[in-house]
Amino acid sequence: MPETMDAWVIREERQGKPINAFQIEQMEVPEPGAMEVIVRVMAAGVNYNNVWAALGEPVSVFRYHAEDHHIGGSDASGIVERVGPGVTRWKPGDEVVIHCNQASYEDPEVHGLDPMAAPSQKIWGYETTWGSFAEYCKVQAQQLLPKPAALTWEEAASYGLTYFTAYRMLVKQTQLQAGQRVLVWGAAGGLGVFALQLCRLAGADAVGVVSSNEKAELCRELGARDTIDRTEFAGMMQPKEPEAPDAVKARKKESRRFCKLVEEKLGGQPDIVFEHVGRATFATSVLAVKPFGAVVTCAATTGYDLEFDVRHLWMRQKRIIGSHFANAYECNRANELIESGAIRPVLWRTLGFDQVAEAHQLMKDNEHLGKIAILVGAESEGLGKTADGPGAIRAEVGA
């Protein structure tokens, strides 16, 4: 192993627009500690978390870890290079994908409750450094999953964080069942493309919310029963600034118009609303979901100070469920569905290692559909596949 490597690094003084915050630097190659593994990264996946890391919002990642640098990247496919003391399940040469949850082996929650409940729980490549936007990354052995053989390096790197999150939200937190109705916000985005596929697989009906015809077409390809273009309901979105009483009234009217359309398209109110947009849509989500139904949320892209009419919640006995990534067992179960081809990665673009900053800027500007992958060690697209299978769905409509 070389002593140094190319890595995309965010530094505290560079936080701001992704296009400027990420820069390539020569960094030391990390050493594996006990139960840790060094993986040679073949491809990496781009996620919104490192848009937040670049911006330094809502909090700087340098408050999460004590290093003076941040190598982001919470998804990867690659080859095990070195294993630290105590690792027995994996050996150099193994082809892997990586899930992004870390927790200390010493926390009792890891051994009886859920690693997601551990005080030490962190998202690798966001709340930690040594992520996948580098030639080598450092992970805990429990983060490794077998690489699905029918996927190329870039396909295998693209799905983990958002798919495993959507899996826990729907399969564990809301116990998605056949015949249920689901409203999916951002349905052509990183989380949404997997929420739609999980609904189809479970025999549930989903309506996806999107902002363009191109995205609507992708959602239908992924099994959505129908879509709604949110640009036709701009007046329903809750702004960050305080509103005048008339504006609140007009916004609530638009929300009701939206909910009526959701009900028409689904043939009833949704049992589940799949949330991650946050302030702009949360009040509408609480209104839309049916009595005793659940709004499940893992994020707040448009703002985390939520406002909604709590009467809709208690009078109709609705539930709000918080969810965050997934535990290793859920990741393994979900990964088996990728291996079998029942759930497929949805890849929009594969970019070169020199385009990590650009990829995050594209994501920040909401230019993408599905997922973006980055070639790191893989010399070109299409490599790494060792078995026949359907591979990824290409998010380019018609491709």
Binding site for ligand NAP (CB under 6 A): 47-49, 161-162, 165, 185-186, 188-192, 209-211, 215, 230, 237, 276-277, 280-281, 298-299, 301-302, 324-325, 363, 366
CB of 133 to ligand NAP, least distance (A): 16
- Compare residues 48 and 258 and give the one whose CB is closer to ligand NAP: 48
The residue among 186 and 377 lying less far from ligand NAP, judged by its C-beta, is 186
**Three-state DSSP class for 209?**
strand
Kindly give the interhelix angle for 160-167 and 328-339, rounded to the nearest 10 degrees. 110
Q: Edge-to-edge, what's the strand order for the sheet holding 226-229?
A: 226-229, 205-210, 181-184, 272-275, 294-297, 319-322
Shortest Å distance, C-beta 6 to ligand NAP: 25
Closer Cβ to ligand NAP, 181 or 276, answer by number: 276
Q: Which residue lies nearest ligand NAP, judged by its C-beta?
A: 189
CB of 332 to ligand NAP, least distance (A): 17
Nearer to ligand NAP, 81 or 165 (CB): 165
CA 165/CA 170 separation, integer angstroms: 9
Closest CA to 334 of 94, 185, 157, 166: 166
Distance CA 161, CA 173 (A): 17
Rounded distance between C-alpha atoms, residue 26 and residue 49, angstroms? 23
According to DSSP, the β-strands at 36-45 and 136-140 are antiparallel
Q: What does the H/E/C string look like for 346-385?
A: EEEEEECHHHHHHHHHHHHCCCCCCEEEEECCCCCCCCCC
DSSP codes of every residue in 72-134? --SEEEEEEEEE-TT--S--TT-EEEE--EE--TT-GGGGTT-GGGSTT-EETTTTSSS-SSB
The residue among 12 and 57 lying less far from ligand NAP, judged by its C-beta, is 57
Nearer to ligand NAP, 134 or 210 (CB): 210
Q: Which two tokens stand for residue 187?
A: 């349905």
Separation CA 309–CA 320 (nearest Å): 13
Shortest distance (Å) from residue 388 CB to ligand NAP? 29
Q: How far is the CB of 249 from ligand NAP (least distance, A)?
A: 21
- Contact of 147 with 87, CB cutoff 8 Å: no
Question: Smallest distance from the beta carbon of 260 to ligand NAP, in angstroms?
Answer: 18
Nearer to ligand NAP, 203 or 239 (CB): 239
User: How far apart are CB 51 and ligand NAP at their closest, in Å?
Assistant: 7
Closest CB to ligand NAP among 103 and 280? 280
Cβ at position 375, least distance to ligand NAP in Å: 20
Helix, coil or strand: residue 325: coil
